[in-house]
Amino acid sequence: MNKKYSENKLIVFTRYLILFMLVSGVVVLITLPFTLNMCKKYDYNGLSKHFYPILIIIAFCGVMALLILWQLKKIFDTVISNDCFVNENVKSLNKMSIYSILISIAMFIRLLIKPTLASAAMVLTFLIASLFSRILATVFESAIAYKTENDFTI
């Protein structure tokens, strides 16, 4: 039952999935102006009227999403090394909470510029992700304190 996490195929698969998402996210972010410009040609959802504000907001959210993925990668590295209850993970979870709330705020601004159902869903989704990350950071802090106390007892 005490199988190493590095041998758990689901954890290893998820780590590689995160790495793939990081790389593809960078590609999407680099090509974002061109992609949005193609949508502007067809005046998709009134994009031509608000092109630059929407481009800036989506690019900002893309950068925040990449930062979240980077923190997830760092957390998975500690899980694979069988040392997941460390302060670095608490810091990563707190950073993820900040990045998520920033995405939520940016998408709320996007709602004010050009309301869409997808933007409203993203506001709510990343607000919940921010709260979840903050709560998980608190749980990890408690687990670290318990683990440290346990280590001193032995």
* Contact (CB, 8 A) for 47 and 54: yes
Domain count, the chain: 1
| pLDDT tens, position by position, 93-146 | 999 999 999 999 999 999 999 899 999 999 999 999 999 999 999 999 999 998
Greatest CA separation for the chain: 68
* Contact (CB, 8 A) for 116 and 125: no
Token pair belonging to 99: 């990045």
| SS3 state at 84 | coil
Indicate the pTM of the whole model: 0.88
Domain that holds residue 91: 5-153
